[in-house]
Amino acid sequence: MFQYTIRRLLLAIPVLIGILIITFALARMIPGDPCKAMLGEKATEAVCERFRIERGLDQPITTQFMVFLRDILKGDFGQSIRYSRPVTIILIERLPMTIELGSVALLIAIAVGVPAGILSAVKRNSAIDVATMITANVGVSMPVYWLGLMLAFVFAIILKDTPFWLPPSGRLTAGITAVPFYKVFDWTLEKESFLFHAAEFISNFYILNSLITRDWKVLGDSIKHLILPAMALSTIPLSIIARMTRSSMLEVLKQDYMRAARSKGLKRNKVVFKHAFRNALLPIVTVIGLQVGTIFAGAVLTESIFGLAGVGRILFEAITARDYPIIQAFTVVIAAMYVLINLLVDLSYMIIDPRIRLR
């Protein structure tokens, strides 16, 4: 297992290098001039020339890429063109929101999609099966931006005066503040140090931070604000997971050893969960890993619709403003997370199915 893990990590290196090259190239293929996008169409050529020199955009593309690669290896993503701030600081502020939203959406997709797929397979061709698959097909077909608007309209406007009201935007209610855990515990951290940035990064996970500080008011409010965007974001992954679970379970249920297990008089739940579900897990785990990419892609629209200050929203704004450092940094970080998750999925195969021997 150790050798396989090392081999997989080494194979991930050329993938990440390819991502760096493609991200760098695509960012500069976006139509438009960063100077005109930032300063307006009336900006003179002299002003734009000074703008390019200040930000290193006057250098040859190869030189810009080597500087970009050098800075990445040092953990420095450069300076934002639009905000004139280090991109690393913006990542610390924005990435936790997206990870938190994506994690909740994935949990919803798994918690609902897997049981729905199992039930649909066990009740094959019944009314429950038909209703589940119709719902799954509708879920896959619904655009995230449309569903997000509809959820906000229903729960924030139609149900405004009911106990089912949910906030349509923002991360916390006005007046409620999430105090970083290191301030609650009176820790003295040197500003701009690694420990300070690490503490800030953890503090921006509002749910985790409120659990550490036992601030139940912030915990409840942050969860309440995540429900609608997480529901909208989880719909497509939930539907795909449900369909894959049903398909995988049906394939296992018709095997000879399942008939043998039933003929021995084993209880139905034991047959379904201990024998069938365990053997159907491999494709289910694979598709769950693949849905992480869908969730990050959907976060761009979801965060914009619900007014969440995460990676997706600022990435959209950066593309509009041709802010190359932000586009490059956020794309590389998300791609690296996706590669890591796929590695974990591969490693989980050996735990799920002991018959697999990876050398």
Q: In this predicted model, what pLDDT tens digit does every residue of 123-150 receive, in sequence order?
A: 888 898 899 889 888 888 888 888 888 9
Residue 206 — very low, low, confident or very high, per pLDDT cuts 50/70/90? very high
- Please name the amino acid found at residue 115: P
Can you say whether residue 122 is alpha, beta or left, with left for phi > 0 and alpha for psi between -120 and 50 degrees?
A: alpha
Question: Alpha helices of 214-253 — where are they, by DSSP H?
Answer: 216-253
Q: Give me the percent of the chain exceeding a pLDDT of 70.
A: 95
> Do 168 and 306 form a contact (C-beta atoms < 8 A)?
yes
- Cβ neighbours for 196, distance < 8 A, ≥ 6 positions apart: 189, 190
Cα–Cα dist 54/141, whole Å: 46
pLDDT for residue 357: 57
Identify the residue whose tokens are 């897997």. 114
Q: Domains in the chain, ordered, with CATH? A: 87-143+231-352 (1.10.3720.10)
Of 1-5, 54-58, 188-192, 269-273, which one has max mean pLDDT?
A: 188-192
347 vs 286, higher pLDDT:
286
Highest-confidence segment of 169-178, 240-249, 261-270: 240-249
Distance CA 291, CA 32 (A): 32
Cα(239)–Cα(133) distance, integer angstroms: 8
Per-residue model confidence (pLDDT) at position 227: 92
Q: What is the dihedral of CA 72, 76, 80, 86, to 10 degrees?
A: 160
pLDDT of the residue at 41: 66
Top pLDDT among 201 and 79 is at: 201
SS3 79: strand
Q: What is the pLDDT of residues 67-115, one digit of tens each?
A: 888 878 777 787 787 777 888 888 888 889 989 999 999 999 999 999 9
Higher model confidence: residue 272 or residue 203? 203
> pTM here?
0.83
Query: Over 80: is that where the pLDDT of 352 sits?
Result: no
Mean pLDDT of 339-354: 78
pLDDT averaged over the chain?
83
Residue 244: the pLDDT is: 92
Does residue 207 register a pLDDT over 90? yes
What pLDDT sits at residue 38?
66
Q: Which residue has the higher pLDDT, 223 or 20?
A: 223
Q: Report the C-alpha gap between 222 and 208 in whole angstroms.
A: 10
